[in-house]
Structure 1
Amino acid sequence: MRMIFVNLPVEDVRKSRAFFTELGFEFDDEYSDERTACLVLERNIFAMLLEHDRFRDFINGDLADPADTEVLNCITVDTREEVDALVAKAIAAGGEAWKPSSEMGPMYGGSFRDLDGHVWELMHPGG
């Protein structure tokens, strides 16, 4: 089974962990420590939230500015209502609205920026 680990730099791993916990996500403590939190998105899909100094251990060059939208992290959810509920939870937990929710054919999506400015899209595929 393949796994995917998306690595994202964060200012404060404790605050990021609390933010995503508020959204209902869990963490894999086996891959977490005081500077790293392994956010479980699905059984074999993870986002590694690494404090800036730890993230620099893995890269050449400088950190990208998330305000420049270095990547769009898109995950699917089961219902349109879940899209809206997670966007609302993210904003209530300190995130920011990004683009208005919209329909794209059978799909429905919403989005937010997390505490560090990373964009998260939530997509209900429809059907």
Structure 2
Amino acid sequence: MSRMIFVNLPVADLAKATAFYEAIGLTKNQQFSDETSASMILSDTIIVALLTHAKWHMFTSRPIAPATSSEVMLAVSCDSRDAVDAMNQAAATHGGTVDINPVQDLGFLYNRSFADLDGHVWEAMWMDMAAADGATG
């Protein structure tokens, strides 16, 4: 069995956060969603769980980081440079903040970052693995 990762994110407005993540390409899994959380499928092995603040605090008493902080940057691979740009455009169109870090274009690697509605930082990236192998020697 492949290992899975579940990224749990506290969100201020579950409906708006769910719509945002749908707009950037994730799919809501109704079976594991309710009025306090939305299970968003990124891939067969990666799930993003959007949790209301009350639900979040059922798992930890640690404070929720302010939207202006950077606790973690989640990188997600895309199929092409155009797909990186499309994800960032979708994020911008649906209330996210794009290019919060400088765009990186190394030829074989291209990435852009954005923050969701709650300030969680994502990096959409594309890498040409064949060219990367040659670049690293």
CA shift for structure 1 position 24: 2.4
TM-score by length of 2: 0.87
1:115 to 106, 117, 130: 117
Query: What letter corresponds to residue 66 of structure 2 in structure 1?
Result: D
The question of whether the paired residues in 2 share the 8 Å contact of 1:108 and 1:126 is answered with no
CA shift for structure 1 position 66: 3.4
The question of whether the paired residues in 2 share the 8 Å contact of 1:101 and 1:111 is answered with yes
Report the secondary structure of 1:88's partner residue: helix
CA shift for structure 1 position 106: 1.6
Q: Which residue of 1 aligns with 2:49?
A: 48
TM-score by length of 1: 0.93
How many pairs are equivalent?
A: 127
CA separation of 1:61 and 1:24: change in aligned 2, threshold 3 A: closer
Q: Which residue of 2 aligns with 1:25?
A: 26
Query: What letter corresponds to residue 8 of structure 2 in structure 1?
Result: N
TM superposition outliers: structure 1 runs of 4+ over 4 Å: none
| Alpha-carbon separation, structure 2, partners of 1:8 and 1:104 | 30
| Alpha-carbon separation, structure 2, partners of 1:57 and 1:84 | 36
Query: What letter corresponds to residue 31 of structure 1 in structure 2?
Result: F
Structure 2 unaligned blocks of 5 or more? 130-137
Q: Which residue of 2 aligns with 1:87?
A: 88
Higher mean C-alpha displacement, 98-107 vs 34-43: 98-107
| Alpha-carbon separation, structure 1, partners of 2:94 and 2:102 | 18
| Alpha-carbon separation, structure 2, partners of 1:100 and 1:69 | 15
| Alpha-carbon separation, structure 1, partners of 2:37 and 2:92 | 23
The question of whether the paired residues in 1 share the 8 Å contact of 2:77 and 2:124 is answered with yes
The question of whether the paired residues in 2 share the 8 Å contact of 1:13 and 1:49 is answered with yes
Identity %: 39
